Structure 1
């Protein structure tokens, strides 16, 4: 019985050790970037947070000049974007692949729009009184 308790304790401690390493790696791969947003008329923290899809408490955290929910127009706020470095690298690779594939598959015949012409036969019956017979 005592051996099974020691084995269980050893197993539990080893699992906890592995879980801490993953959290540290995740925190080290997080990248926080900022965008400066100039507040316009009738904007609130709620509208700005919806615009950038960032929670209000994060905006308040990185803008210590905010007191409560009061903001004024022409105030400059730092809006945080939290991304992972791994995600940024994969996005760059995808963008490069798309750019290379679009450059090789360009067909200029498809990019030229077709000309649309108006046929005179549809317009002529409406203005018969104004058109002289000699001009036809």
Structure 2
């Protein structure tokens, strides 16, 4: 059964439910397919009988998934920015000048400019044969 069919059948069964008083609930025979669910009063004048409805057992299993807390309104841009105000960029204190080329580099790292020069010279150094001394 697809989710759309399940939701539509849920709403049709909820719309056909009738409010019953506590006396008629006590006199009716309990059915395996029905369960009594207690609901809080929607307004102060509600009676105890109006705060009970009969739901099929399969619906009572599904209702906790539907009756979850949701925010009353969308979080505003200002409130989000206030929460994120301490998440700004931090100043880097580990950027130092390179002692060879005086370009910026990270502390305890090889300078990118010097590294590029070394990589360009590397094939030349590797192609030369070492001089043997006797």
Question: Which has the greater radius of gyration?
Answer: 2
TM-score range, shorter chain: under 0.3
For normalisation by structure 2, the TM-score amounts to 0.27
Structure that is richer in helix per residue: 1
